[in-house]
Structure 1
Amino acid sequence: MLMEELIKVAMVDDDPMIRTLYKTLINDTEGMICVAEFEGSKETVDELANSSVDVILMDVDMPKMNGIDCVRNIREKNKEIPIVMLTVNEDSELIFNSLCNGANGYLVKGLRPEKLTNGIIEVYKGGAPMSASIARKVVDSFKITKSAVLTGREQEVLQLLCDGDNYKQAAAKLFISAHTVKRHIRNIYEKLQVNSRAELVQKAYRENLVR
């Protein structure tokens, strides 16, 4: 098979054993070839963004530049190359940060060899490969996000809490009872999936929910 007919894959992982393992798997699979491998760095971003590879397999946890930053920086220069995250980490926040920053798929290391190669083919054809456990987390997180939309009053209460007001102060400013404020706060805690005021304030600022 001619080089032009093969799916050209680039591996980005700081573990040389992992790179060797998947490079061998890819090269032993008909229709694809591993043409480059990187540890993950600013140089990696520049080279990949300007390369002619067809698919990038990207680790998340790397010491020089993590995979999410790599994806974001590659996307600033090249929006076309399909990127699949390949990692042991199934943290929901990392999954969404990866996808929101431009990753096209998210696969868990240790999956069966054919799952990986099928994922490469899928993303090459325009799909979005995901391990079953990751897909479930994505669906669950979308459910949480949908239910997490705050009402106008809840948004006002949240802003006052982040400004440092207590229940009574917030109630006075909004011309409602302290009991009503507490009810709004219970709803906010449930919608944003937090358990303390400190956690609430941190999440509100991190996700730009307040000014």
Structure 2
Amino acid sequence: MSRDIRVSIIEDDETIRQGYAFLIGEADGYEVVSHYSTYDDAARKITGDKPDVILLDIEMPGTNGIEAIPKLKKLLPQCFILILTVYESEKQIFNALENGASGYLTKNTPPSRIIESIKEVKEGGGPMSINIAKLVIKSFQKNQESPLSKRETQILELIRDGKNRSQIARELFIDLETVRSHVKNIYLKLDVNSRADAIKTAKENKLI
């Protein structure tokens, strides 16, 4: 007989954390070995818990989930990390996957699917919520011959999301003049003179 899948939960909302712990603990073949409110709490003890799978939230006090992924992978190289969050932005998804997450679910995922996903990720799969999978596929369908650099594409996506230049500068940790320079280059490359035209042209050509 195979042993139960050992699960640790890192989630700052106590009600949600206890709910997951109960849900998973009641399922045959699963054992919740620990749960923590933050990565910083977990870091001190989680190696001793020996989890097979970690359910990880993104937005937490202290070290956030995206930053925690490589730290957890270093502490527990054989462990699989399954993101369970409310966040659905393309940036968050790819940051999580690039950092080593094996799956990405949103918190409106049905309980039965969460349990299935823990087993799936343990067996080497990459479970994703349907809406997350659609975002990933859409991203890969972008025009690979784009005239825009990766940074210019990133800035244009933030413009599309309604961010102004100051907000973009803060989010990307660059100065305002650098943002202005990138926006100028975007306009030149797309042969447009306004934000609206830049977004329209980029969408038509699958650049964003």
TM-score by length of 1: 0.68
Match of 2:204 in 1: none
Match of 1:186 in 2: 190
Q: CA RMSD in A?
A: 3.2
Q: Is the 8 A contact 1:40 1:70 kept in 2?
A: no
Task: Name which of 29, 32, 35 aligns with 2:30.
Answer: 32
Match of 2:119 in 1: 121
Amino acid in structure 1 at the alignment position of 2:127: P
Where in structure 1 are there 5+ consecutive unaligned residues?
Answer: 155-160, 171-180, 196-211
Match of 1:132 in 2: 130
Match of 2:164 in 1: none
Amino acid in structure 2 at the alignment position of 1:42: D
**1:47 Cα deviation from its structure 2 partner:** 3.0
**Secondary structure of 2:21's partner?**
helix
Amino acid in structure 2 at the alignment position of 1:44: A
Which stretch shows the higher mean deviation, 65-74 or 137-146? 137-146
**1:162 Cα deviation from its structure 2 partner:** 5.1
Match of 2:65 in 1: 67
Structure number with larger C-alpha Rg:
1
Which residues of 2 match residues 48-197 of structure 1 at below 5 A?
A: 48-49=46-47, 51-144=49-142, 146-148=144-146, 150=148, 185-186=189-190
Question: Are 2:16 and 1:18 equivalent residues in the alignment?
Answer: yes
**1:65 Cα deviation from its structure 2 partner:** 1.7
Where in structure 2 are there 5+ consecutive unaligned residues?
Answer: 153-176, 200-208
Q: 1:183 to 1:70 in 2, by over 3 A?
A: closer
**1:145 Cα deviation from its structure 2 partner:** 7.1
Tell me how far apart the structure 2 counterparts of residues 188 and 143 of structure 1 sit (CA, whole Å): 23
Amino acid in structure 2 at the alignment position of 1:73: K
Q: Deviations 1:138-172 (Å, cap 9, x if unpaired)?
A: 11122237344658xx9xxxxxx959879xxx9xx
**1:104 Cα deviation from its structure 2 partner:** 0.4
Match of 1:176 in 2: none
TM-score by length of 2: 0.69
